Structure 1
């Protein structure tokens, strides 16, 4: 059975200026490349949408619309969540299990939050995970410094790289999109 492609929160709400600077402006393009190949191979695809319950969040209303590079087709499942993990409060795990999926390729937004949490949980649930590190991105707002106001928030690339380094080897194998496309689903 092929790996399922899990696209996490690649939504218009992440265009809002509140998130600050980001790394990897090509993340959506790489996610779109993965999606196109998964469709070509007729391999399993799952779209994850974050619908925030926080007042003032950009991830409500129009902010929940998927970016055009990864817009789902009518028959592709969408799982909506309001927390960091795509497995909490959704039918994702049941869907994957019922589809006999044991391997996942994960990509999306943001690297240290929903991508990281979903990757960790997927591994803990027994899935083998490949993480497309260049199809993910982090934002400056991902560095909370309100607990230590004298700290300077790290650059989004540092946030991204740190999150990936914490995941690789223990919860997933982090690979470039080109490598994953060469390996196939």
Structure 2
């Protein structure tokens, strides 16, 4: 059996071959002031860094809110992806109206398994909502999950600050064995 060397343009040329980068809800609607105070002002820059360096399969997930007053509702400017995703050469783009990307318009689990993907790298918005829920479900499904915490952000909620919520997410994911929490520098 003869094996040919991978080409320079091959998306599977490195350690990302069995990994997919999943960017969750990186949408303009999260810039709406109604969300309140957010953490991690560098999240979008880190998402752009991930995107620029990624060579494996890329999945973009969009939240299509069913709430009539949501800036994430389809048909609203806020439903569009943020500029950092402009020109992204995604292998899969789909919408969801719940927290987990595994429960959207596409059977993400089947799509990943059909491509031999065993590892998922997650980033996006909101840290403690859709990113954490997707990580938990992915971990439960048997994927090796990495959450790039500095490429996520969230908002103050009830009595907790966005920073506290992000720290709690990291603790939940690590402590519960759902995911490894990493930085952008760890991935790029």
- Compute the TM-score of the two structures, normalised by the length of structure 1: 0.86
Which residue matches 1:45?
A: 58
Which residue matches 1:2?
A: 18
1:23 CA drift (Å): 0.3
Which residue matches 1:161?
A: 167
User: What is the CA–CA distance in structure 1 between the aligned matches of 2:129 and 2:101, rounded to whole Å?
Assistant: 11
Judging changes above 3 Å, is the alpha-carbon distance between structure 1 residues 56 and 167 closer, same or farther for their aligned structure 2 residues?
Answer: same
SS in 2 for 1:139: coil
For residues 83-108 of structure 1, give each alpha carbon's deviation from its aligned partner in whole angstroms, at most 9, with x where no partner exists: 00001133211211111100010001
SS in 2 for 1:30: helix
Higher relative contact order (CA 8 A, sep 6+): 1
Count, aligned residues: 168
Q: Is the 8 A contact 2:39 2:155 kept in 1?
A: yes
For residues 111-140 of structure 1, give each alpha carbon's deviation from its aligned partner in whole angstroms, at most 9, with x where no partner exists: 110001000000111110111010011101
- Compute the TM-score of the two structures, normalised by the length of structure 2: 0.85
Aligned residue among 35, 41, 54 for 2:67: 54
1:64 CA drift (Å): 1.3
User: What is the CA–CA distance in structure 2 between the aligned matches of 1:103 and 1:128, rounded to whole Å?
Assistant: 5
User: What is the CA–CA distance in structure 2 between the aligned matches of 1:65 and 1:164, rounded to whole Å?
Assistant: 28
For residues 140-169 of structure 1, give each alpha carbon's deviation from its aligned partner in whole angstroms, at most 9, with x where no partner exists: 1xx2x4xxxxxxx22111111111111124
User: What is the CA–CA distance in structure 2 between the aligned matches of 1:85 and 1:72, rounded to whole Å?
Assistant: 25
Q: Is the 8 A contact 1:131 1:175 kept in 2?
A: yes
1:74 CA drift (Å): 5.5
1:72 CA drift (Å): 5.2
User: What is the CA–CA distance in structure 1 between the aligned matches of 2:24 and 2:64, rounded to whole Å?
Assistant: 12
Structure 2, unaligned runs of 5 or more: 1-16
User: What is the CA–CA distance in structure 1 between the aligned matches of 2:57 and 2:31, rounded to whole Å?
Assistant: 28
User: What is the CA–CA distance in structure 2 between the aligned matches of 1:137 and 1:75, rounded to whole Å?
Assistant: 22
CA RMSD of aligned residues (A): 1.3
Which residue matches 1:150?
A: none
Judging changes above 3 Å, is the alpha-carbon distance between structure 1 residues 178 and 78 closer, same or farther for their aligned structure 2 residues?
Answer: same
SS in 2 for 1:179: helix
